[in-house]
Structure 1
Amino acid sequence: MFPERKLPAITSFINNPALKTVMDNWSGTPVDQSGRFINLDGPTVLSMGMILKHFVERNPQRDMKKKDTWRIPVLTDDNWLNDEADKIVWLGHASFFIQMAGLRMITDPVFGRLPMVERHSPLPVDPGKLVNIDYILVTHAHYDHCDKKSLQLLSANNPQAHILCGLNLDRLIGKWINNPVHTAGWYQQYDNTGGVKITFVPSRHWANRGLSDANTTLWGGFVMEKADGCIYFSGDSGYGSHYKAIGHLFPRIDVALLGAGAYAPAWFMGKNHQDPYQALQAFRDTGAQLFIPFHYGTFDMADEPMGETEQILNRLKAEGKINNELKILKLGEALPV
Structure 2
Amino acid sequence: MTEQTERTEQSGQPSSTPGGVRPGSRPRPLGEIRRWPGSFADRLTAPLPGVRAMARLAREGAVRPGPDGLRDIALLPFAPGPLPAVDTTTLAVTWAGHASWVLRVGGLTVLTDPVWSRRILGTPARITPVGVRWEDLPPVDAVVISHNHFDHLDAPTLKRLPRHTPVFAPAGLGRWFRRRRFTRVTELDWWEGAELAGVRFDFVPAHHWSKRTLIDTCRSLWGGWVLTDPLGQCVYFAGDTGYGHWFKEIGRRHPGIDVALLPIGAYDPRWWLSDVHTDPEEAVLAFEDLGARNMAPMHWATFVLSAEPVLEPITRVLAAWERTGRPRGQLWDLPVGGSRLLAG
2:301 is aligned with 1:297: yes
Unaligned 5+ residue runs, structure 1?
1-12, 27-33
Select 1:188's aligned residue among 187, 192, 201. 192
Q: Which structure 2 residues correspond to residues 175-254 of structure 1 after superposition, within 5 A?
A: 175-190=179-194, 192-226=195-229, 227-254=231-258
2:261 is aligned with 1:257: yes
Pairwise CA distance, 1:59: 3.6
| C-alpha distance after superposition, 1:168-224 (max 9, x if no partner) | 10111221243411100000011x312211100000100111111100011100001
Pairwise CA distance, 1:318: 4.4
Structure 1's 319 and 248: CA in aligned 2 closer, same or farther, altered over 3 A? Answer: closer
2:120 is aligned with 1:114: yes
SS at match of 2:247: helix
CA–CA distance in structure 2, aligned partners of residues 241 and 142 of structure 1: 23
SS at match of 1:153: coil
Assess if the C-alpha contact under 8 Å between 2:240 and 2:276 holds in 1: yes
Assess if the C-alpha contact under 8 Å between 2:91 and 2:103 holds in 1: yes
SS at match of 2:271: helix
CA–CA distance in structure 2, aligned partners of residues 289 and 219 of structure 1: 25
Q: Which structure 2 residues correspond to residues 284-323 of structure 1 after superposition, within 5 A?
A: 284-319=288-323, 321-323=325-327
CA–CA distance in structure 2, aligned partners of residues 39 and 131 of structure 1: 40
Structure 1's 79 and 294: CA in aligned 2 closer, same or farther, altered over 3 A? Answer: closer
Deviates more, 1:295-304 or 1:83-92: 83-92
Q: Return the structure number with greater relative CO, CA threshold 8 A, min gap 6.
A: 2
- Superposed CA RMSD in Å reads 2.4
Give aligned pairs, total.
Answer: 311
Pairwise CA distance, 1:48: 1.3
Assess if the C-alpha contact under 8 Å between 2:284 and 2:320 holds in 1: no
Structure 1's 183 and 54: CA in aligned 2 closer, same or farther, altered over 3 A? Answer: same
Assess if the C-alpha contact under 8 Å between 1:207 and 1:218 holds in 2: yes
Deviates more, 1:172-181 or 1:71-80: 71-80
Select 1:135's aligned residue among 109, 126, 142. 142
Unaligned 5+ residue runs, structure 2?
1-6, 22-36
CA–CA distance in structure 2, aligned partners of residues 268 and 280 of structure 1: 21
Deviates more, 1:325-334 or 1:139-148: 325-334
Specify the code of the residue in structure 2 equivalent to 1:24: G
SS at match of 2:101: strand
Report the TM-score, using the length of structure 2 for normalisation: 0.83
